[in-house]
A = this chain, B = another copy of it.
Amino acid sequence: MAREPGVWLSSPARVRELSRAWRARGERIAFVPTMGYLHDGHLSLVERAARSAKRVVVSVFVNPLQFEARADLASYPRDLAGDRRLLGQARVDAVFAPSAAAFYRPANVTRVAVTGIGERLEGAYRPGHFTGVATVVTKLLHVVEPDQLWLGQKDAQQVALLTRMVEDLDLAVDVRVGPTVREADGLAMSSRNARLTVRERAQAPLLFAALQAGRASLLARGAGPLARRVLAAERAMRAVIARAPLARLDYARLVDAKTFDAPGPGTRAGLLVVAARFPSARLIDNLKVSLGPAR
């Protein structure tokens, strides 16, 4: 099933018009929001989206609202020509790429905030970040009006937060999650990886190694009390990150995959999460874990 190369649009009204025409024909629409500088992680999401829906819309928009630091926004990697080439080869029907000035008019003052989960971990380390994410995704969903919203597991807290938001706000969209795509040495693909120096890049796989050590610790102590197993897994993760002299650890935690709180009696799935700052980029990664037979 070949598709025409996707049409690039900057007008919300044009995108909605296309989407409504497809819906009127009974065609299912999948939406993949991105900030561009696309890598195999994004393309894997696009492929999954294309397999599960007749129409695929991708957005390419570096959302100023989700960057707490202007420097981080300014240095976020951009390569629109590369994105055009990659999406031209992918099964994409439309690309929505608005300008920041047009998408956020000066008078705009409305924000979508997810309390609780939005304030923990990434929310605490990046104040305002998740409000920026929730606001832009709400806007994008209103423009694209898709049946499915495709997100990458790499940003696990974003997935949990947007899943919560979609349910809380009665948004008529299914949240679908694609697995993290990794380099051969385990480093999770991320547009930010492009900023790493050679020495930082050499140490970056220790994030994934830390997650694996956390999982191994959990498995080894499968019979102990949960609180103690959690502490041991977090200690094991920290020990691995300590082997990366260029990395400063923000957190290495085992959390409830849905709420991002500490695991408790109501926890169904656990998640190991890690965040570390290298001088050139801050990286995050995560790994789902079973909390095992002790529960």
Residues of A within 8 A of B (CB): 12, 16, 24, 105, 107-118, 134-135, 138-139, 142-143, 145, 164-165, 167-172
Contact = CB atoms under 8 A, between A and B. Distances in A.
Given A170-B139, A170-B142, A114 B105 contact: no
Given A109-B116, A110-B169, A112-B113, 5 more contacts: A16-B172, A109-B164, A138-B169, A142-B169, A142-B170
A142 B141 CA distance: 11
Contacts of A105: 167-168
Contacts of A111: 112-115
A135 B114 CA distance: 12
A83 to B, nearest CB: 22
A107 B115 CA distance: 11
B115 A113 contact: no
Contact of A143 (B138, B139, B142, B170): B170
Given A105-B167, A172-B142, A112 B114 contact: no
A103 to B, nearest CB: 8
Contacts of A107: 164, 167-168
Contacts of A170: 12, 139, 142-143
Given A142-B169, A143-B170, A145-B172, A117 B112 contact: no
A164 B110 contact: yes
17 contacts: A12-B170, A24-B24, A109-B116, A109-B117, A110-B112, A110-B113, A110-B165, A110-B168, A111-B112, A111-B115, A112-B112, A112-B113, A112-B169, A139-B169, A139-B170, A142-B170, A145-B172
Contacts of A168: 105, 107-110, 139
A24 B145 CA distance: 15
Name the residue in A113, A134, A139 with the highest tally of chain B Cβ atoms < 10 Å from its Cβ: A113
Nearest to A143: B170
Contact of A109 (B16, B115, B142): B115
A161 to B, nearest CB: 9
